[in-house]
Amino acid sequence: MAGPLKTIALLGATGSIGGSTLDVVARHPDRFRVGALSANGRVDELLRLCARFRPDAAVVADESAWPALCDGLAALGLPTRALAGAAALDEVAADPANDTVVAAIVGAAGVASTLAAARAGKRLLLANKESVVLAGDLLLQAAREGGATILPVDSEHNAIYQCLPADGGRQGVRRLLLTASGGPFRGRRRAELEGVTPDQACAHPNWSMGRKISVDSATLMNKGLEVIEARHLFGLPASRIEVVVHPQSVIHSLVDYVDGSVLAQLGNPDMRTALAYGLAWPERIDSGVAPLDLAALARFDFEKPDLAAFPCLGLAYRALEAGGAAPAVLNAANEVAVSAFLQGKLGFLGIPDLIQACLDAHPGGPADSLEQLLETDAEARRLAGDLIARMRRP
Ligand code: NAD
Ligand code: MG
C-alpha cells in the first residue's frame, strides 16, 4: 500500500520539469495530491493546470498577473487561493499543509523559496540547480537545521545519489563522474560556433528542456553548474568531481570506488525517472518512462570535454576553486549572458567571454548570508549589463 497521501507544492509548474512532475503525479492519485502550483506570469497555462489538479493554492510570481489569476479561478469555480509575489512562493514552500516541495523554478529566482522549503523541513526535490550554485552552503545548513530531506532530481545528481553508499556516508568513494551529452555543438571547434542561433543552441539532441538550461547545455555551463552542485550536495572537493562526455545520455552519472568498482545509473533520457524517484523515495513507482533497450542502443561512447571550444566548464571550476561568492558571480553573469543571447543581443561566443570578464572584475567576496549573496548577485548582474555593450554581437 502507498501509505498516506503526500501533498506536493510544485514551484515552476508551467515549465519543463513542472510538466514532467505533474505527469508522474497524475499516474498515482492514491499517493499524491497537489497542494500548490506556481508560475511566473503565464496565467492561462497555470489556470489550465489548476482546472486539472485542483490545488489548494496557485501563485504567480509576477504580481501584475494576480487579478487575471483571481478572475480565472473564479470563472472555473475553484476554491483555490490566489497568491502573488516572491513572498507567496516562500509561504507555500514552508506551508505545513505541503509535505513535499518540488523546486523547479529556473535561475536565481528560485533561491529564496528553495531555502524556505529546506528551513521548513520538507522533502525537497531539487531541480533548481542555480540556487545550489548561488547558496549551496546556506541551503545545506538550512536543510540540516530544518530536518529537510534533499532529493536531487537533476539527472546526474539523482544518479550519483542512487550509486553512493546506502548509509549516506562516503566510505571508499574515489571520484564522482558526471556525464555530459556534449550538447548540440559537440565536436565543433571554437571558430565553428561563431554565429550559431538560439534555436540551434536549444535543439538538444537527447533532452527536451526549458530554453535557459538548453543554452547552458550547448555552452557546457550546465555541466559547470552541476559540478558546483555536486560539490555541495555530496561534499567532495572539485578535484574528485570529473566530467566525461557521453553523447547517448543513457548513463546518467557514475561513482568510482577505491576498489575499482564503478557504479552507474542508466535509463532513457527522461526526467520523469528522477522525479518519480524523488517523489516516492525510498519506494519505487512507475514513472511512465519506457524500459531501456540496450540491444537497440548497441553502443555507448565516451570522450573528454573540449575546454577550448567550451570554456564555460573551466570557468565554473575556476569559480568553485575561488570559493566564497565567486560561484554567485558566475551564475549571475551566465543568467545575464544567456538571456542576452536568447534575445539576439549577444553572440554565442560572447557568453563565456562575458562570464570570464565578470569573474576577472568582481572579487566575489564572502558568502555568509543570503542578503550578502543576493547583493553580490545584483552587483554581478549590473556589471554584466555594463560589459555586454562592449561584447561580441551576433
Ligand atoms: P522552464 O523554463 O521550462 O520553466 C521554468 C519555470 O520557472 C516556469 O514555471 C516559470 O514560470 C518559472 N519561472 C521563471 N522565471 C521565474 C521567476 N522570476 N519567478 C518565479 N518563477 C519563475 O525551465 P525547466 O527546464 O523546467 O528548468 C527548471 C529548473 O530545473 C532549472 O533550474 C533547470 O536548470 C533545472 N533542470 C531542468 C531539467 C530539464 O530537463 N528541463 C533537468 C535538470 C535540471
Ligand atoms: Mg543535469
The string of pLDDT tens digits covering residues 61-80 is: 999 999 999 999 999 999 99
Of the ligands numbered here, which is closest to the C-alpha atom of 211? 1
* pLDDT tens string 102-146: 999 999 999 999 999 999 999 999 999 999 999 999 999 999 999
Nearest protein Cα to ligand 1, atom 13? 40
* Helix ranges restricted to H, the chain: 16-26, 43-53, 66-76, 86-94, 111-119, 129-146, 155-163, 198-202, 211-219, 221-234, 272-280, 294-297, 312-322, 326-342, 350-361, 370-388
- Give the residue carrying C-alpha cell 550509486: 163
pLDDT above 80: residue 392: no
Q: How confident is the model at residue 350 (pLDDT cuts 50, 70, 90)?
A: very high
* pLDDT tens string 232-275: 999 999 999 999 999 999 999 999 999 999 999 999 999 999 99
CA–centroid distance, residue 269 to ligand 2 (Å): 10
Q: What is the mean pLDDT of the segment spanning 280-292?
A: 98
Ligand 1: residues within 6 Å at CB?
12-18, 39-40, 42, 61, 104-106, 109, 127-130, 154, 207, 209-210, 212-213, 271
Of the ligands numbered here, which is closest to the C-alpha atom of 204? 1
CA angle 279, 283, 287 (to 5 degrees): 55
Residues within 5 Å of ion ligand 2 by Cβ? Answer: 154-156
CA–centroid distance, residue 96 to ligand 1 (Å): 24
CA–centroid distance, residue 298 to ligand 1 (Å): 33
Q: What is the mean pLDDT of the segment spanning 342-348?
A: 96
